[in-house]
Amino acid sequence: MGPENVTRCPVCDGTQINDLLRIDAAPVLCNVLWPEERQARSARHGPLGVAYCEACAHVFNKEHDPDLADYGTAYDNSLHYSPLFNDYARRLSQRLVDRYDLRGKRIVEIGCGKGDFLRMLCEAGGNFGYGFDRSFEPDRVQTSDTAEIAYVQDLYTEKYAARCRPDFLCFRHVLEHIDRPIDFLVDLRRTIADRKDVVIYCEVPNALFTLKDLGIWDLIYEHCSYFTLHSLVAVFQRAGYDVVAGDEAFGGQFIWVEARAGAGQSLVTLSEHQMPSQVRLHADAFADQYGASVRAWRDRLAALTREGRRPVVWGAGSKGVTFLNVLKEFGDQIQYVVDVNPHKQGRYVPITGQRVVPAEFLRSQRVTDVLIMNPLYEKEITATIRELGLELNISTV
Ligand SMILES: [Zn+2]
Rounded to the nearest whole angstrom, what is the distance from the C-alpha of residue 55 to the centroid of ligand 1?
5
In this model, does residue 348 exceed pLDDT 90? yes
Nearest to 224 by CA among 41, 46, 35: 46
Round to whole Å and give the CA distance between 170 and 195: 15
Q: Which residues contact 70 (CB under 8 A, 6 or more apart)?
A: none
CATH number at residue 376: 3.40.50.720
Three-state secondary structure call for residue 383: helix
- Above 80 in pLDDT, residue 70? no
Is the pLDDT at 60 greater than 50? The verdict is yes
Let me know if residue 330 belongs to a domain. Answer: yes
The backbone torsions φ and ψ at residue 395, rounded to the nearest 5 degrees and listed phi first, read -140, 155
Count Cβ atoms within 10 A of the Cβ of residue 1 and give its class: 0-12 exposed, 13-18 middle, 19 or more buried.
Answer: exposed
Q: Is 357 helix (H, G, I), strand (E, B) or coil?
A: strand
Phi, psi of 103 (to 5 degrees): -135, 120
Distance from Cα 12 to the centre of ligand 1, integer Å: 4
276 alpha carbon to ligand 1 midpoint, in Å? 10
Distance 179 CA to ligand 1 centre (A): 14
**Is residue 5 one of the residues assigned to a domain?**
no
Is 354 inside a domain boundary? Answer: yes
Least confident range of 85-89, 99-103, 118-122: 85-89
Element (H, E) at 355: strand 355-357
Mean pLDDT of all residues belonging to the chain: 91
Q: Tell me the residue type at 357.
A: V
Q: Has residue 334 been placed in a domain?
A: yes
Residue 177 is assigned to a structural domain of this protein: no
Q: Tell me the pLDDT tens digit for each residue of 3-13.
A: 566 799 999 99
Q: Going by C-beta distance under 8 Å and a sequence separation of 6 or more, which residues neighbour residue 294?
A: 326, 327
pLDDT tens, residue by residue, 327-346:
999 999 999 999 998 999 99
Beta-bridge partners for 171: 202
Find the domain containing 325 and state its range.
Answer: 310-396
Between residues 102 and 364, the one the model is more confident about? 102
> Measured between alpha carbons, how far is residue 223 from residues 135, 173, 177 in Å?
17, 10, 5
Indicate the pLDDT class of residue 73, thresholds 50, 70 and 90. very low
Q: Is residue 79 over pLDDT 80?
A: no
Q: In 3D, which of 294, 191, 205 has the Cα closest to residue 251?
A: 205
Q: How far is the centre of ligand 1, averaged over its atoms, from the C-alpha of 278 (Å)?
A: 15
Per-residue b or e along 73-82, where b marks 16 or more CB atoms closer than 10 Å to that residue's CB? eebeeebeee
Min mean pLDDT across 73-82, 112-121, 285-294, 377-386 is at 73-82
pLDDT bucket at 385, cuts 50 / 70 / 90: very high
pLDDT for 147 equals: 65
Contact at 8 Å (CB) between 341 and 348? no
* Distance (Å) from CA 72 to ligand 1 centroid: 29
Q: Is the pLDDT score of 1 beyond 50? A: no
DSSP designation for 368: -
Lowest mean pLDDT among 80-94, 227-241, 310-324: 80-94
Counted domains in the chain: 1
Average pLDDT of the residues in 266-281: 96
**Angle of helix 181-191 versus helix 229-238 axis, rounded to 10:** 50
What are the two backbone dihedrals, phi and then psi, of residue 265, each rounded to the nearest 5 degrees? Answer: -85, 160
Q: Which of 83, 90, 79, 159 minimizes the C-alpha distance to 114?
A: 79
pLDDT at 74: 45
* Distance from residue 16's CA to the centre of ligand 1 (Å): 8
**Res 136: pLDDT:** 67
Distance (angstroms) between ligand 1 centre and the Cα of 53 equals 5
User: Residue 141: its pLDDT value, please?
Assistant: 56
Q: Separation of 252 CA from ligand 1 center, angstroms?
A: 22
| Residue 40 pLDDT > 60 | yes
Taking the centre of ligand 1 as the mean of its atom positions, its distance from the CA of residue 66, in whole angstroms, is 19
349 belongs to a structural domain: yes
From ligand 1's centre to the CA of 217, what distance in Å?
Answer: 24
Share of the chain above pLDDT 70, in %: 92
Report how far ligand 1's centroid is from the alpha carbon of 11 (Å).
5
- pLDDT tens-digit readout, 154-193: 889 999 999 999 999 999 999 999 999 999 999 999 999 8
With residue 52 as reference, give the H or E element that holds it.
Answer: strand 45-53
pLDDT of residue 374: 84
Residue-wise pLDDT tens digits, 193-218: 889 999 999 999 999 999 998 888 98
Return d(Cα 90, Cα 180) in angstroms, integer. 30
- Gap from CA of 254 to ligand 1 centroid (Å): 19
Given the DSSP bridges, would you call strands 336-338 and 311-314 parallel, antiparallel or unpaired?
A: parallel
- pLDDT digit string, tens, across residues 109-163: 999 988 889 999 999 999 999 999 987 666 555 555 556 899 998 889 999 999 9
62 CA from centroid of ligand 1 (Å): 12
Q: Name the 3-class secondary structure at 372.
A: strand
CA 393 to ligand 1 center in whole angstroms: 45
pLDDT in tens, 20-33: 999 999 999 888 89
Cα distances (Å, whole numbers) of residue 121 to 101, 180, 237? 11, 28, 26
In a domain, 385, yes or no: yes
pLDDT at 88: 93
Q: Distance from the CA of 7 to the center of ligand 1, in angstroms?
A: 11
On whether the CB atoms of residues 39 and 365 are closer than 8 A, the answer is no
Q: What percent of the chain has pLDDT over 90?
A: 79
Q: How far is the CA of 208 from the centre of ligand 1 (A)?
A: 15
d(CA 105, CA 170): 13
In a domain, 78, yes or no: no
